[in-house]
Amino acid sequence: MKCPVCNHENGNASFCERCGSNLTPSSPTADSAQDQQSAAAEPEYTRWSSTQATPSHAPISSNTPSAPRPVQHVSESSDSSGTEGASASGDNNTNQWNNIVQNEKVQQAKEVSKQYLSYFLSVLTRPYQTMKTVGEQHSLNGWITMALIAVLSSTYFLITFGRMDMDGLFIGGFIRPLLFTAISLVVAIALMYAILKIEKITFRPKTLVAQFGTLLVPAVASLVLANLFIVISYSIAIFFLVVSFLIIFVSLNTVLFQYPLNRTKAAIDSMYSVLIANVVLFYILYRLLATMIMGLISLMFSPFGRM
């Protein structure tokens, strides 16, 4: 047999004598059988591998349906109870806040009343000396003093005409005198402000109010006595009422003259400006009081004019 590699002529040997190549031909049937065996073995492996469970670390396909999750249902009763509890807690918080605010306002009112009482007692003994030392921080005390004058004067008229057994005197005997007195005091402050501006004097309006209110403290005391003496004697009560209104005029002039008036820059002499202020204030008080008293007298004699 001739070697297919080196062309050496050999006998019936199975291997070449020169190069040692295999001289036995391979059978095609054996090769095809081997191929069919391997081909048949491949589906078996494929079928076996497809039937195995997916390992725990393998990713889950997105197409695989996931297990249904349990849905938590909140009952309506729990919702309503939670809402009611929240609203109740909100109401409690609101009530607590309102109580705190009211307590703070009450405490502030107490502090203001205590401060004003000590201020009133100290000013009552020496009003003029105190007037020289007050500043803007005392303007609130000045407004409180003027409010007390308005309330006490209207109370005096209400008590006086109420003793005559007249009906419907609250508006005519209290509200009108209250407004009239308040207007008169505001007009007095406006007149002082105008005169100082005419005199071209530098001043602070709050300090002006504080000074005027300080000098009006004796008027408050006089009105308190007037209200007390209504029950005892009308003549003494009227006397204290007149004194309280005279204090308003004296206070206006005292405040004005403690400033350096009669400057050369003034457009009018200081005597005339102060005189004009007094006349205007007197006219306003006269007109307002006269109108109020005439209205009360008309109520006494006219049954159709009562309110």
Residue 22: beta bridge partners?
15
Q: Tell me if residue 65 falls in helix, strand or coil.
A: coil
d(CA 43, CA 91): 77
Let me know the angle formed at the C-alpha of 185 by 174 and 192, rounded to the nearest 5 degrees.
170
Residue 2: beta bridge partners?
9
Plot region of 8 (φ>0 → left; ψ -120 to 50 → alpha; else → beta): beta
Query: Per-residue pLDDT averaged across 232-237, rounded?
Result: 84
Cα dist from 231 to 67, 226, 234, whole Å: 96, 10, 8
Q: Give per-residue pLDDT as tens, 40-81.
A: 444 444 443 444 444 444 444 444 444 445 444 444 455 555
Residue predicted with more confidence, 118 or 26: 118
**18 Cα distance to chain centroid:** 118
| pTM score above 0.85 | no
**What pLDDT score does 304 carry?**
42
Give the amino acid at 277: A
**What pLDDT score does 240 carry?**
92
Q: Give per-residue pLDDT as tens, 66-121.
A: 444 544 444 445 555 556 666 666 667 777 776 776 676 676 667 777 788 888 88
